[in-house]
Amino acid sequence: MQPIDQQRMASPIIISVQCFYCSKWFPESQLRTIGESVKMCEACQHKHMKNMLEFEPPPYCQSCLTTTQALAARGDDRLAVHYKDGIYQVLCMACDAVYVQQRKDLYARTEFGYKEAKL
């Protein structure tokens, strides 16, 4: 039989926070804060730096493939950049709205999700 002190010892509690890029959970001490609320793990930080050096925005939406000329003809030539499928992707505003709704798990806790997307 174990002494009473050992029977009552609780396991340590580790509070985890989700990386906004890979969606994995980490102790907060292993994440970097970007802006006011975005958290990024070290592996994603390295991918981010590599992708930023290689990033060349294409002249079209990478989701629906509509060209920037066609978007401008419709009166909305704005594009949004998202870290999607492991790379930065350029999306038209229609595809952006769909993607943001699909990723409420990431954007709802950000200032953008609260003020702009109203998640």
31: three-class secondary structure by DSSP: strand
80 vs 97: CA distance, rounded Å? 10
More confident residue, 72 or 84: 72
39 vs 57: CA distance, rounded Å? 24
Per-residue pLDDT tens for 35-72?
877 889 999 999 989 988 988 899 999 999 999 999 99
77 vs 75: CA distance, rounded Å? 6
- For 20, list phi and psi in degrees, rounded to 5: -75, -10
pLDDT over 70 at 82, yes or no: yes
Global pTM reads 0.69
Confidence label for 9 from pLDDT (cuts 50, 70 and 90) = low
Render 41-104 in DSSP notation, one character per residue: EHHHHHHHHHHHHH----SB-TTT--BHHHHHHTT---EEEEEETTEEEEEEHHHHHHHHHHTH
